[in-house]
Amino acid sequence: MNNTLKKTTQLGAFTALAVTMGYLFSVVPNVEMVTATIFIAGFIMGPWEGLAVGIVAEGLYSLFNPYGPAAPPLFIAQVVSMAITGFVGGHFGKHRSGLTPWAPVYLALAGLGLSLLFAVLTTLSFMPLAGLSFHQLTGSFIYGIGFYLTHILSNTLIFLTVVPILIRVLSKVIPTLGVASCVEETT
């Protein structure tokens, strides 16, 4: 299989997996595997490919969400957040040799930061949508703290425990990418 076809197949597979994970976990409030899947796509394939998976996967999931499509400002915030997630995953993958002893901790911190970014961007998207003032926006952040904490903590734990295992397993399935080095000793 030539490299272009291989890369296109991987992009499609990761995109489909991310969307599927969104639907699979949609019944569990604020617990999801979309972020982890997009991050892993970037880690394995590279920053720009991760960014592409983030845009397409989140775009599809947001448009065809089981609870209805997102309003345009929210849609943009979701897609931008997941594009950044894939891009960051790609940079983690590029620097994997320096992560060996602390990979799960670094991955957990990435999960925490990326989930926090998602929370901030999606909440800010309500300003133009609902005509919120900055004072009202602060109230919105306070009101949603339970939801934010659930999402941030669950993703932090997923990135600490599940992401290193999936990277190791996928590196064996896709051996030419050589991504196992950063997590073999730690999981």
Q: How many domains does the chain have?
A: 1
pLDDT, tens only, 71-121: 999 999 999 999 999 999 999 988 765 556 788 999 999 999 999 999 999
Q: Write the CATH number for 163.
A: 1.10.1760.20
- DSSP-derived secondary structure for 50-85: HHHHHHHHHHHHHHT-TT-PPPHHHHHHHHHHHHHH
Least confident range of 39-43, 102-106, 160-164: 102-106
Within a domain: 187:
no
Parent domain of 95 = 3-182
Q: Is residue 49 part of a domain?
A: yes
The H or E element containing residue 100 is none
Rounded mean pLDDT, 27-46: 94
